[in-house]
């Protein structure tokens, strides 16, 4: 495989992207997989955590809400889960009941296995898109499931965005690309909690960004609002066969590559930490859909059933299966 290794300044990283037809395998222990997501990516990462607990050791949820809060309805997604205007807002006990029902039906594994999870939850105090009550309900849900290792950050005056130490819009902003400068290393805080024992982040990157075809993992990606192409960051040590970890990072609505270019991948702060700590970072991608049969104009992840997939929040959900298949490939 042809590789590109470049030294970079850490602000607004610009890495050449290497195209490959297939996602490659690395020396990764699948049971140490961690995940993070922003907004719709947080809702999806939360669904993955419950549906794929056998491989997920930790999850970071930024501006997300509790399991199946939408009950498969767009109106509930917008006015109940994000803005608590109807039906009492997001309810941890109600989500727990739905999760237990899914467990009884064999749609998700036993919730008892989540107790050793490491969970990081972030909500900006100025986030008016997914209001802090959603993240509070999410924290309460994990508490009810017996999870002990929860770190909750709810005091930063941030908008609806990923916080960074020195890149992006003003901290209070909720505008594209939904990355804000709050003088806080959000990616570092996330990985410190989920992985721990981090070495200092790289001052210059040795790794590379590889694009790969997602059609291998979803036969017709567009049919489930996934893009033809996904991305993975591979530290040089991982490319050379050293033991590595895997982190899956899920963008939010309006944050796919088609919307904001590579900014979510290069500018959210994960790459310098991943590079020095032997962490492969997978960045799956959605695509906007505008047709009546599948209306997803903002390229969100499916957390309210827009794809028509009744199992969207379970181990049998089409997007969940696709992401799990990517993880299986990387870690085998």
* Tens-place pLDDT, residues 96-121: 999 999 999 999 999 998 999 999 99
More confident residue, 157 or 15: 157
Report d(CA 278, CA 274) in Å as an integer: 6
Catalytic residue among 36, 39, 40, 259: 39
The pLDDT of residue 19: 75
Average pLDDT of the chain, as a whole number: 94
Residue 12 has pLDDT above 90, yes or no: no
Report d(CA 295, CA 135) in Å as an integer: 26
More confident residue, 291 or 184: 184
The pLDDT of residue 255: 98
Nearest to 62 by CA among 193, 170, 169: 193
Residues 223-242, mean pLDDT to the nearest whole number: 97
Residue 6 has pLDDT above 70, yes or no: no
pLDDT tens-digit profile of 264-288? Answer: 999 999 999 999 999 999 999 999 9
Kindly report the length of the chain: 332
The pLDDT of residue 208: 96
Residues 304-310, mean pLDDT to the nearest whole number: 94
State yes or no: is 127 an active-site residue. Answer: yes
Q: Environment class of residue 222 by beta-carbon count within 10 Å: exposed (0-12), middle (13-18) or buried (19+)? A: middle
- Predicted TM-score of the model (pTM): 0.94
The pLDDT of residue 242: 97
Catalytic residue among 117, 127, 185, 302: 127
Residues 128-151, mean pLDDT to the nearest whole number: 97
State yes or no: is 318 an active-site residue. Answer: no
Q: How many CB atoms lie within 10 A of CB 86?
A: 11
The pLDDT of residue 14: 63
Residue 136 has pLDDT above 80, yes or no: yes
Residue 29 has pLDDT above 60, yes or no: yes
Catalytic residue among 91, 117, 160, 302: 160
State yes or no: is 166 an active-site residue. Answer: no
């Amino acid at each position: 495989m042809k590789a590109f290794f470049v030294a970079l300044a850490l602000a607004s990283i610009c890495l050449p992207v290497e195209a490959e037809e297939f996602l490659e395998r690395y020396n990764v222990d699948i049971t140490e997989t961690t995940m993070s997501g922003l907004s719709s990516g947080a809702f999806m990462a939360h669904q993955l955590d419950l549906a794929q607990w056998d491989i997920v050791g930790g999850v970071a949820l930024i501006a997300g809400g509790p399991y199946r809060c939408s009950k498969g309805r767009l109106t509930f997604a917008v006015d109940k889960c994000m803005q608590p205007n109807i039906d009492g807002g997001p309810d941890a006990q109600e989500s727990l009941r739905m999760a237990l029902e899914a467990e009884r039906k064999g749609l998700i594994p036993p919730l008892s296995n989540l107790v050793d999870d490491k969970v990081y939850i972030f909500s900006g105090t100025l986030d008016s898109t997914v209001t802090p009550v959603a993240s509070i309900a999410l924290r309460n849900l994990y508490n009810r499931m017996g999870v002990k290792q929860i770190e909750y950050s709810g005091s930063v005056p941030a908008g609806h965005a990923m916080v960074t130490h020195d890149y992006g819009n003003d901290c209070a902003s909720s505008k594209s690309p939904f990355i804000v400068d709050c003088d806080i290393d959000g990616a570092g805080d996330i990985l410190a909690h989920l992985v721990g024992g981090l070495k200092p982040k790289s001052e210059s990157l040795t790794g590379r960004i590889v694009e790969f075809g997602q059609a291998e993992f979803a036969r017709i990606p567009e049919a489930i609002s996934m893009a033809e192409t996904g991305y993975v960051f591979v530290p040089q040590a991982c490319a050379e066969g050293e033991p590595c970890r895997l982190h899956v990072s899920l963008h939010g609505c309006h944050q796919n590559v088609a919307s904001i270019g590579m900014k979510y991948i290069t500018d959210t702060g994960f790459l310098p930490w991943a590079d020095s700590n032997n962490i492969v970072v997978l960045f799956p991608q959605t695509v906007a859909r505008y047709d009546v049969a599948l209306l997803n104009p903002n390229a969100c992840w499916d957390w309210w059933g827009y794809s028509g997939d009744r199992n969207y929040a379970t181990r049998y959900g089409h997007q969940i299966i696709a992401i799990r298949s990517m993880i299986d490939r990387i870690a085998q």
